[in-house]
Amino acid sequence: MTKSPQCLPRSSDPLDQELAARLNAWGDDASVDSQQSLRPVLIELACWVGAAVLVAGIAIVGLV
């Protein structure tokens, strides 16, 4: 993971410092859930879309 680039503002402003600190801290722990593969989520979404398309198809064939 790329750490804070040189082009980020470097001021004494607390918000700038907080931003830099968070960007440096972000991604440090690879075991947290948000850093895991999103593939299972995409598969789950595909199942929902598949079910919706199936229902739409049945409705169009049966009711239209």
Partner 1 sequence: MTDPVADQGNAVAGERAPTLDGERLFTSYGSFFYTLTALAAAIWVVLVGGAIPAVGDTRLGIIGFACGTVIGTALVVCSVALPAFRYGVDSIDISKAALGIRGSGIAVLGLIVMGLGWAGVALALVARGFATVLASVGHLDGTVVEPIVLAVGLLLIPLLYVLVRHGLDVIRRINQIAGPALLLLACVSLALLWRRYGSAELLRPNVPEAQALTTDRLKAFAYALEFGVTMSLSWWPYMGGLYRFLKFRRHAVGPIMLGGSLVGTTLSASVAALAAVHLGSPDPIVWLVALTGPVIGLVLVGVVLLLSIPAICLLVYFVASAAQQLRPLARSSWSTRVILATAPLALVAFNTSWTLSHVVTVATFGSLVFFSICGIVLVDFWVLRRGQLELPHLFVENADGHYWYTGGVNWVAMLTVAAGGAAYLFLYDPVSLAARSAFRYAGAALPVMAGSALLYLMLMRVFRRKAGNANPGVEVVKVGF
Q: Given the rule CB under 8 A, which residues bind partner 1?
A: 1-9, 13-15, 18-19, 22-23, 25-27, 29, 32-36, 38, 40-42, 44-46, 48-49, 51-53, 55-56, 59-60, 63-64
Residues in contact with 17: Cβ distance below 8 Å, sequence separation at least 6, in sequence order: 11
* Cα separation, 63 vs 24, whole angstroms: 57
CA separation, residue 55 to residues 60, 61, 64 (Å): 9, 10, 13
